[in-house]
Structure 1
Amino acid sequence: MLPKIKLTVFLFFLSSSFVFSQNNKLDSLFYTLDKSSDNTSEIEILKQIATEISSSAIDSIELIAGNIFKFSEKDNDNLLLSKLHFTIAYTYFLKKDWVMAIKKFLSAQSYIKKNENLELESELLEYMGYAYSKIGLRNKAIFFYESSIEIEKDSLKMGLRYQKLGFFIAMDLLEKLKVREVLDTDLSIINNSQEIKNTLNFLKTALAIGINNKNQQLIKSSYNTIAIIHLLTGNNDKAWDYFQQSLQLNIKRKDTRDIANSYGNLAETAFRMGKHDKSIALWQKSFDYLKNIDDPFMKADHYKGLARVYYAKKDFTKTLFYIEKSIEIEQNYSLDEPLAK
């Protein structure tokens, strides 16, 4: 737990700053942090503090925290230093300044290791993995995700990280396939690679943990990502089975958006299997749910899916019709602005 006298000093510097002087929520968070005796709740409070300050100038919090670093370093208080460094690093993380976030997380890690705070270190390693993935350093991202899993004691958190690792590798594979324009003959080579086998093992482990913990979100995400891997590697029948499992779970949860997405995934799979009429029926089924959802870009993507099927059937009139509907949506909305209500 953060020493009360130093917390008071930190709060004094923070509250005296013009940037944070009107932030009553920060006062409340620091008070809660001061009273906390549980590592897990402290981590969440630190992240909430970072969220509050992330909308302000980062230089201000670094300047203020620098005063506390001086107090802490004199007393060799690694516990306080580790949490301050973590808070600053997570602030950069929220601002999507990935390079600075990594730099600050590395600084925090050196102090966290001295305190043997595995919970905080596990969180830190996960965020570093994500940050490395965002700047394209794939191997480092995988390394830090795996390192996070190795020291995590909470089985559900472990499962979530296995799923995130599997999803990251799946999306990386998708980008590679787009760049290389991989032919069907290449898919068997990719499918039999050790990396794909390892990724599927990660995801199946996540699925087992999700089932054991009755965590529907983890189960659903694992089903979907396993299906995506199979779809990308040409195992359409297996992809179909996993997408079906995800659909049944979404129907049970009555999640309209996810049901629409599941039907879209099945429609794409049917298309890749050469079952064009079935694909059209599934795309249309997805629109039964999409009409109740305010997500124009999802609708645009589904129109494109329908257009691809009709193009394969050489029905160019309907191909053009659905392409135009997709373009109309994309012209009416900007990805950089909030969706119109």
Structure 2
Amino acid sequence: MKNLFMVLFLFTAIGHSQNRLKVLNDSAMAIYKENPQKAIQLLEDALDISLKEKNKFESALSKNNLGIVYRDLGELEKAKQLSEESLEFGVLDEYIMASAYNNIGACNRKLGLYEEAIDSYLKALAIYESKGDLDKQATVNNNIGMVYSYLSLNDKAIEYHLKAKNVFEQQDNKKGISEVYNNIAIIYANDGNLENALDYFKYSLDIEKELKDQKGIAESLNNVGAVYYYMQEIDSALVYFKSSADTER
């Protein structure tokens, strides 16, 4: 609510300035998680103004931002269409293009259109790599890995998760590395390779302990316990399940 008041105040204060389109877009993306309907209103206002002014850059930006908000609301077809329409403006801004491709990829992934998702994600990834945007590279690599796992192409899935890990290592992002290990462990577990799954869940657990993340520790302990359970090592499973429960208290 505090963010919303701040947004409305800023918009009222400079509503007639040349920065109004930037304010509308920035404000909407600052509040869309907590107030998506207000964010949509702001973005539609920005889109109306930018179309009237024939401002292709701001029109493309507003369309794609609307796509992101609608994806967050679960309206995937509408979200995908908006991001595709964003690209149709022909604005050669790499960040708008990459964001649009990423949003289309995410929509396709959730719609079960996995090949299309990979195609869009790869377009986004190429741009983020050319710009040296490590955060986005890691995220998109992880997303591609996830889609390949849905296709049961586990070697490709692990390849992209490890690419994400390499980026996280450049950033010294230990939480990100832990998440990669967890993702790889799940792939191995689903493939019936319980020994490798156990190793990677334990790698994740070691990092969570280093970070002293109690929630992460509890989840990792539970995952290790689950693997031991499926390996029919019940005593070991119970030890980890108990440790997980104790950690959550």
TM-score of the pair, normalised by structure 1: 0.62
Of 98, 107, 128, the residue aligned with 2:76 is 98
- Distance in 1, matches of 2:244 and 2:199, equals 18
Aligned residue identity for 1:286: S
**Which runs of no fewer than 5 residues in structure 1 stay unpaired?**
1-21, 174-189, 293-341
- CA deviations 1:228-260 (Å, max 9, x no partner) are 111111221111111111101111111111111
8 Å contact 2:189–2:197 — kept in the other structure?
A: yes
| Residues 240/29 of structure 1: CA separation in 2 closer, same or farther (3 Å cut) | farther
- CA deviations 1:14-41 (Å, max 9, x no partner) are xxxxxxxx9551452695993999xxx9
Mapped pair 1:139 → 2:115: yes
- Distance in 1, matches of 2:93 and 2:135, equals 19
8 Å contact 2:24–2:46 — kept in the other structure?
A: no
Q: CA deviation at 1:57?
A: 9.2
- Distance in 1, matches of 2:167 and 2:161, equals 10
Aligned residue identity for 2:161: L
| Residues 155/87 of structure 1: CA separation in 2 closer, same or farther (3 Å cut) | closer
Hey, what does 1:149 align to over in structure 2? 125
8 Å contact 2:186–2:197 — kept in the other structure?
A: yes
8 Å contact 2:11–2:20 — kept in the other structure?
A: no
Of 125, 136, 140, the residue aligned with 1:161 is 140
Count, aligned residues: 240
Hey, what does 1:307 align to over in structure 2? none
| Residues 86/279 of structure 1: CA separation in 2 closer, same or farther (3 Å cut) | same
Q: Percent identity?
A: 20
Hey, what does 1:265 align to over in structure 2? 223
| Residues 254/70 of structure 1: CA separation in 2 closer, same or farther (3 Å cut) | closer
Q: CA deviation at 1:125?
A: 1.5
Q: CA deviation at 1:288?
A: 0.9
| Residues 48/63 of structure 1: CA separation in 2 closer, same or farther (3 Å cut) | closer
- Distance in 1, matches of 2:168 and 2:217, equals 20
Hey, what does 1:311 align to over in structure 2? none
Q: CA deviation at 1:42?
A: 10
Larger-gyration structure (1/2) = 1
Structure 1 vs Structure 2 CA RMSD? 3.1
Mapped pair 1:82 → 2:60: yes
- Distance in 1, matches of 2:118 and 2:216, equals 28
Equivalent residue of 1:123, what SS?
helix
Aligned residue identity for 1:158: Q
- CA deviations 1:51-75 (Å, max 9, x no partner) are 57622495x55764564244233xx
TM-score of the pair, normalised by structure 2: 0.83
Mapped pair 1:28 → 2:4: no
- Distance in 2, matches of 1:249 and 1:66, equals 45
Q: CA deviation at 1:86?
A: 2.0
Hey, what does 1:279 align to over in structure 2? 237
Aligned residue identity for 2:10: S
- Distance in 2, matches of 1:209 and 1:243, equals 20
Q: CA deviation at 1:94?
A: 2.9
**Which runs of no fewer than 5 residues in structure 2 stay unpaired?**
none
